[in-house]
């Protein structure tokens, strides 16, 4: 975790463990439903704005997400798949900011 992001998280992280993955799963599951995708992104962006998330923190999360996917899926995480995830995250990040 980047030091400037620590203030965004409570000491008890138990309830937050699944939140990012739930949101990512919802976004990945809605690419053909633009209205649903936009609703998910807007809702998440509103929450993050209320917490004071900065653009550099979004960038750090994106880097951590790609790193995690690479390590979880190993050789199955091809360069094409990596690029698709980067593009998806950049789109979401841009809309959230």
Regarding pTM above 0.75, the answer is no
Residue 69 has a pLDDT of 94
- DSSP state string for the chain: --GGGGGGS-S--GGGSSHHHHHHHHHHT-TT-HHHHHHHHHHHHHHHHHHT--HHHHHHHHHHHHHHHHHHHGGGS-HHHHHHHHHHHHHHHHHH-
Quick: pLDDT tens for 32-82.
788 888 888 888 888 878 778 888 888 888 999 999 999 999 999 999 999
Residue 1 has a pLDDT of 52
Domain boundaries, the chain: 61-97
Statement: residue 9 has pLDDT above 60 = no
């Amino acid at each position: 975790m980047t030091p400037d992001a620590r203030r965004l998280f409570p000491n008890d992280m138990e309830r937050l463990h699944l939140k990012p993955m739930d949101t990512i799963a919802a976004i990945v599951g809605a690419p053909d439903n633009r209205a649903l995708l936009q609703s998910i992104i807007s809702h998440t962006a509103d929450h993050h704005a209320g917490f004071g998330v900065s653009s550099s923190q979004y960038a750090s999360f994106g880097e951590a997400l790609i790193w995690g996917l690479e390590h979880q899926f190993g050789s199955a995480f091809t360069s094409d798949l990596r690029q698709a995830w980067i593009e998806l995250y950049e789109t979401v990040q841009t809309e959230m900011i």
